[in-house]
Structure 1
Amino acid sequence: MNKSAVDHFSYTSREYSFSRPFYPVVLYKYLSDITLDNSIAWDCATGNGQAAIGLCKYFKKVIASDASGGQLDYQFNRGNIDYQMFPAENADLKDESIDLVTVAQAAHWFDLDKFYKEVKRVGKRNSILAIWSYGMHKIDDDIDKISARLNVDGDLLEKYWPKETSYVKEDYKTIPFPFKEIAAPKFEMTINWSLDELVSYMQTWSAVKRFSKDKNSNPLNLIIAELEKLWGKRDIQKTVKWDINIRVGKIQR
């Protein structure tokens, strides 16, 4: 993971801990079903352990690693999760020791050649690698048009999104993936949020941080009035959805 990414995620650690949606249980169940042995999973770039706590219900042990100490400060503790600090490209793991490798919303930050080399080193024969991302949230057509202004190709934040997020915009279809691919079912995240909860989530975006630093103002202030008109009372909860874009492959030698 490049240094700027580590610095950014360390800075927003607490916000990430409280403002990010959780992945669906069916995703973890699917990954456990296609993994030959459910002994050890490695959740790479775990952040505060958002994916690790889902995996730990299906695997005897989860090694949850991150290059950012700030993220790990807000970890979700479970008895069978072992949190460790090391970069994805230089894993402190034994050869051929891992049954499943997961990367949630982070693979686009990696030096992928180095990371994939590590995956092939630590993965058991025919073990599984799963990387996934999610893009812009969906609520309804009118609100989604406003949200689109903040997207990678939107008029407000286009130049403030890091180049790595192009893979996310392209639904991970173009991210390098040199493994024997397995066709995965479609998954989505769904949560009921108030307007304030949605704004707190958007506040964690790297592009929002960059805009705020450059302009000395918050870009969310440019759209909040429109959102309030469409939302109604701020404490009304609306259903927010994200498509999960997943690539799954078999680690072979």
Structure 2
Amino acid sequence: MKDNFSGHSKDYAQYRPKYPPEIYNWLKQNLNGFETAWDCGTGNGQVAAELAEFFERVEATDISSNQIKQAIKKSNINYSVQPAEQTNFKNHQFDLIICAQAVHWFNFDKFYSEVKRCLKPDGLIVIMGYGLFRSVSEVNQIIQEFYDGIIGSYWDEERKYLDEEYKTIPFPFQSIKTPGFVRAYEWDIDHFLGYLRTWSAVKHYERQHGEDPVALVEDQLRKAFGDKNEINFPILFKVGKLEEADQ
């Protein structure tokens, strides 16, 4: 698994969007138990913190110790630095295994083998993330040109799975039908620009060129976006359970 985020973990925690409360309500209604959950690729711990509100214990893992140092602390969350593909967890330990905005970085076969080993027979595996946001049309146009043009060649190959809305990732589980979710925000322009600067392709561009690519479109964006504007993130949400042969 690649670690693209250790170097700016504070910005990641400050600017990245959160998932809508409706997702956690859906989980509460569809889970079969609330003893233990595993938040895999926890990052700043935002998902782990939400799960801790209704699980007895949450295990939260990441390969970035810097991310974990910045993560939200709660008494029933245990953070550990572990790769998704090989953990020290027990067999059939978890009622829920959830991975938010991270599965595209993993070795799919090895991660899913670990999921099948660690998930309870009646547990759920959840893969979620968010795609490219939408705002007003002029902002969308500037961002699309920035995304595809200025930083287009700096995206990691794995980014394609998000662009394809996780529809093309392997998912060797019994799929469960889920509703669609969107997370809407009203952000000020500085928060919006701060979010753009957390993108991994932006960081790759900076390292290669020694300059911030967001600055190349900042004036355009400030004019098009205004002081405040609405941002909508489409939520990617895949849920499954073990196939009978894997139970």
TM value normalised by structure 1: 0.93
Is residue 201 of structure 1 aligned with residue 195 of structure 2?
Answer: yes
Written as runs of structure 1 = structure 2, the 5 A alignment for 1:5-24 is 5-6=2-3, 8-24=4-20
Q: Shift in Å at residue 205 of structure 1?
A: 0.6
Structure 1 alignment gaps of length 5 or more? none
Structure 1 counterpart of 2:102, one-letter code = A
Partner of 1:33: 29
Q: Structure 1 residue aligned with 2:224, among 201, 222, 230?
A: 230
Is residue 123 of structure 1 aligned with residue 119 of structure 2?
Answer: yes
Is residue 170 of structure 1 aligned with residue 161 of structure 2?
Answer: no
Partner of 1:218: 212
Contact 1:28 1:58 in 2 (8 A): no
Structure 1 residue ranges (4+ consecutive) displaced by more than 2 angstroms after TM superposition = none
Partner of 1:146: 142
Structure 1 counterpart of 2:235, one-letter code = I
Structure 1 counterpart of 2:12, one-letter code = Y
Is residue 70 of structure 1 aligned with residue 61 of structure 2?
Answer: no
Return the alpha-carbon distance in structure 2 between the equivalents of residues 68 and 109 of structure 1.
13
Q: 1:123-182: CA deviations, max 9, x gaps? A: 01021000112121111111111111233xx11111100000100000000011111001
Secondary structure in 1 matching 2:127: strand
Partner of 1:160: 154
Structure 2 counterpart of 1:239, one-letter code = E
Q: Shift in Å at residue 113 of structure 1?
A: 0.4
Secondary structure in 2 matching 1:204: coil
User: Identity across aligned pairs (percent)?
Assistant: 37
Is residue 247 of structure 1 aligned with residue 244 of structure 2?
Answer: no
Return the alpha-carbon distance in structure 2 between the equivalents of residues 75 and 231 of structure 1.
30
Structure 2 alignment gaps of length 5 or more? none
Contact 1:42 1:98 in 2 (8 A): yes
Contact 1:136 1:147 in 2 (8 A): no
Return the alpha-carbon distance in structure 2 between the equivalents of residues 206 and 11 of structure 1.
11
Secondary structure in 2 matching 1:150: helix
Q: Shift in Å at residue 196 of structure 1?
A: 0.6
Q: Shift in Å at residue 25 of structure 1?
A: 1.1
Contact 1:66 1:86 in 2 (8 A): yes
Secondary structure in 2 matching 1:65: strand
Q: How many residues align?
A: 244
Contact 1:32 1:59 in 2 (8 A): no
Written as runs of structure 1 = structure 2, the 5 A alignment for 1:47-62 is 47-62=43-58
Return the alpha-carbon distance in structure 2 between the equivalents of residues 150 and 55 of structure 1.
35
Return the alpha-carbon distance in structure 1 between the equivalents of residues 233 and 96 of structure 2.
24
Secondary structure in 1 matching 2:46: coil
Structure 2 counterpart of 1:229, one-letter code = K
RMSD: 1.1
Is residue 180 of structure 1 aligned with residue 193 of structure 2?
Answer: no
